[in-house]
Amino acid sequence: MTSFAVGAATDTGQVRAANQDRYLVSEPVFVVADGMGGHMGGEIASEVAVLALEAIDTVGSLDELIGRVQEANAAVVERARAQPELRGMGTTVCVLADIERPGSDRLGVANVGDSRLYRLTADGLFQHTEDHSLVEALVRDGRLTRAEAAVHPQRNIVTRALGIDEKVLVDAWELIPVEGDRYLLCSDGLFNEVPEPEIAEVLRAQESPEDAAHELVERANDAGGRDNITVVVVDVVAAGSFDALPADRVSDTRKALPGGMLASESPEADDPPVTRSVFDPPPDQPSAAPPSVFTWRLAAMVAAVMIVLVVMVVALLQVGRSGYTVVKGEEGTVELLQGEGFLWFEPTVEVETDLVVAGLPDLDRERVEAGQEFETRSEADTYLAYLQTLVDDGS
């Protein structure tokens, strides 16, 4: 039997009104869940998922663990059905579980969404999970670099979550428990604020898992705390028995694990700040002609010029203020609009795609039907590119 030492911490952060993250430390499972959805939906989704997983007494196989995550999904879906105001709520889950099989203990990992599992070893900090997020899909597609993704304004948009569909695709795999390994489960509120080398440094410096968890939450808050922050640190104190594999076989097994990306130990240079276009201030109004040369014709010209100036200023303010919205057009396809209706200015259709809204996955279909807003054109284009990849993948 594998034994663990565990520490956990969660915080609302500096900006959000409520904490929609939940964690669970209840052997044999350790969980981080990051809820999303208005009207309390986010809190409820993560809470329902965690309560479903808390009922687990033992995990005998990886399939059993996946089944438990499916049950948690069903529980969130059911709750959303029962309360229409909670429609569209969802939650990520990242689960580390002790799989007890006589003679071959394993750790099971199950992941849906963009919370993460890392493992700290003497060699470094490894990210074991793959984010189910818009930016991760674009990185895989070669449309964004990892450095761009790390600061992208849409990095909180997930592509998989519990509570959206009857069935959810769960990433799952097994790891061999190794004494001395330290695992970190966390919500995006940690890794979006604290660079991975700094996370590794804290995990190395703090001996107790409890201290490590609290210091990581504190660092995320110091860095801005723009999202809820949740951290669970799990130390493997004594490894369970597993079939006596030769040493080389053990390391092969570990290398072959999916998602075992080496987390970057050297932060890449930050992108240059986005340059925003600044509108030139309106030219000064022409000075009124001296009364001695006043004519009705001149007055009419001045009035005409002033009207043109007012229209230009209003138009510039409108263009400068308004953003972009990805919507469902009259043909049922995805369109990009610029601007919001204002005085006699109508939003303009900037891009018409042939992507059929009804054919999108539920999460994105709902976003487009509700009108997904973006501040800049490039953010909106990124989202359109992402929607295109969904169709290209045939998913």
Binding site for Mn ion (CB under 5 A): 34, 187-189, 227
Task: Pick the closer one to Mn ion by CB: 99 or 137.
Answer: 137
Least distance CB 32 / Mn ion (angstroms): 10
Task: Pick the closer one to Mn ion by CB: 18 or 205.
Answer: 18
Task: Pick the closer one to Mn ion by CB: 188 or 364.
Answer: 188
Least distance CB 228 / Mn ion (angstroms): 6
Residues in the chain: 395
Task: Pick the closer one to Mn ion by CB: 2 or 91.
Answer: 91
What sign does the dihedral 332-336-340-343 (CA atoms) show?
negative
Least distance CB 131 / Mn ion (angstroms): 12
Nearest Cα residue to 95 out of 56, 41, 44, 45:
56
Least distance CB 103 / Mn ion (angstroms): 39
Least distance CB 220 / Mn ion (angstroms): 11
Least distance CB 16 / Mn ion (angstroms): 9
Task: Pick the closer one to Mn ion by CB: 98 or 188.
Answer: 188
Do strands 93-99 and 90-91 pair parallel, antiparallel, or not at all (unpaired)?
unpaired
Task: Pick the closer one to Mn ion by CB: 16 or 254.
Answer: 16
Report yes or no: 181 and 121 within 8 Å, Cβ to Cβ. yes
Task: Pick the closer one to Mn ion by CB: 21 or 364.
Answer: 21
Nearest Cα residue to 177 out of 111, 239, 114, 130:
239
Task: Pick the closer one to Mn ion by CB: 39 or 254.
Answer: 39
CA distance 32 to 6: 13
Least distance CB 356 / Mn ion (angstroms): 30
CA distance 224 to 348: 36
Least distance CB 209 / Mn ion (angstroms): 22
Least distance CB 154 / Mn ion (angstroms): 13
Task: Pick the closer one to Mn ion by CB: 188 or 215.
Answer: 188
Least distance CB 256 / Mn ion (angstroms): 30
Q: HEC profile for the chain?
A: CCEEEEEEEEECCCCCCCCCEEEEEECCEEEEEEEECCCCHHHHHHHHHHHHHHCCCCECCHHHHHHHHHHHHHHHHHHHHHCHHHCCCEECEEEEEEECCCCCCEEEEEEECCCEEEEEECCEEEECCCCCEHHHHHHHCCCCCHHHHHHCCCCCCECCCECCCCCCCCEEEEECCCCCCEEEEECHHHHCCCCHHHHHHHHHHCCCHHHHHHHHHHHHHHCCCCCCEEEEEEEEEECCCCCCCCHHHHHHHHHCCCCCEECCCCCCCCCCCCCCCCCCCCCCCCCCCCHHHCCHHHHHHHHHHHHHHHHHHHHHHHHHHCCEEEEECCCCEEEEEECCCECCECCEEEEEEEEEHHHCCHHHHHHHHHCEEECCHHHHHHHHHHHHHHHHCCC
Task: Pick the closer one to Mn ion by CB: 73 or 187.
Answer: 187
